[in-house]
Amino acid sequence: MKSNDYVLAVEGLTVSFDGFRAVNDLSFYVEEEEIRVIIGPNGAGKTTVLDLICGKTRATNGSIKFRNNELTKMSEHKIVHAGVGRKFQNPSIYEDLTVLENLEISYPKGRTIMGALTFKRDNTILDKIHEISDITFLTENLNDKAGLLSHGQKQWLEIGMLLIQDPDLLMLDEPVAGMSVSERKQTAKLINSITKGRSVLVIEHDMQFVEDIAHRVTVMHQGKVLSEGTMDRVKQDPKVVEVYLGH
């Protein structure tokens, strides 16, 4: 397979903060409609990888190719326009706005000043908002202030805000943190149902959840790939057992 068949091709990626290499010569590839989970101990550089892909942090070296577009030089909003969506570790939603308004802002229309001034909430947008709120279990809460949602619902809302952008690559940083067991199950189901036409890159610590969703798993340790493959294979890798899955 040539490198341009991948949705995301990360090659030789390095970032150093004052000499400390948080990510060190990292390479991995994500395929179409794949759910890839990155796991690893604290400080392995997982979140930094997402920061690098979405442009929040700039790479010192290496390349990130998304459908053959080089992302390392693009500005953050251009990366979003190219089709990369990113959920933050703590649910990052607009607490003073309603759920509907949260979703509306994320809808990819009226992103310039003029566009926003002439923006109208038409039926196409409302239908899309209802569709997304249905699959993220938030239909009942559309007119609630987002700040009043439970922690799990906030996580869902942020996932919904990404889905409404319809990204080709969806990056989720700890999407089930703070969720109950049943909410985790629902989220796993949700993530499995959204891979049509898009790839998903997830960081997660909850192994049950990882087993539920992962097509392939990348284990990171000290800024490098320690192991990669299906969950079963990774689980049996002695290196992984030693540094992460443990004793």
DSSP tag of 245: I
What's the min distance (Å) between Cβ of 25 and other proteins? 26
Cα(40)–Cα(203) distance, integer angstroms:
9
Evaluate whether 197 touches 183 at the Cβ level (below 8 Å).
no
Tally of CB atoms within 10 A around 156: 26
Evaluate whether 208 touches 7 at the Cβ level (below 8 Å).
no
Q: Among residues 215, 222, 241, 245, which is the contact residue for other proteins, using CB under 8 A?
A: 215
Q: Residue 246, SS3?
A: coil
Which of the stretches 2-10, 17-25, 103-111, 238-246 binds other proteins when contact is defined by CB under 8 A?
A: 103-111
Evaluate whether 193 touches 35 at the Cβ level (below 8 Å).
no
Q: Among residues 77, 124, 150, 181, which is the contact residue for other proteins, using CB under 8 A?
A: 77
**192 forms part of the interface with other proteins (CB under 8 A):** yes
DSSP 130-182: HHHHHHTT-GGGTTSBGGGS-HHHHHHHHHHHHHTT--SEEEEESTTTT--HH
Instruction: Output 1 or 113, the one with its CB closest to other proteins.
Output: 113
The answer for residues whose C-beta is within 8 angstroms of residue 5's C-beta and 6 or more apart is 31, 32
Instruction: Output 24 or 107, the one with its CB closest to other proteins.
Output: 107
Q: Among residues 39, 161, 179, 240, which is the contact residue for other proteins, using CB under 8 A?
A: 161
Q: Among residues 32, 178, 230, 239, which is the contact residue for other proteins, using CB under 8 A?
A: 230
What's the min distance (Å) between Cβ of 157 and other proteins? 11
**56 forms part of the interface with other proteins (CB under 8 A):** yes
Q: Among residues 36, 46, 65, 86, which is the contact residue for other proteins, using CB under 8 A?
A: 86
**182 forms part of the interface with other proteins (CB under 8 A):** no
Q: Residue 13, SS3?
A: strand
Instruction: Output 12 or 121, the one with its CB closest to other proteins.
Output: 121
Give the residues lining the site for other proteins (CB under 8 A).
54, 56, 75-77, 80-81, 85-86, 88, 92-97, 101-102, 104-106, 108, 110-113, 116-117, 119, 126-127, 130-131, 134-135, 139, 143, 158, 161, 165, 188-189, 192-196, 211-215, 230-233
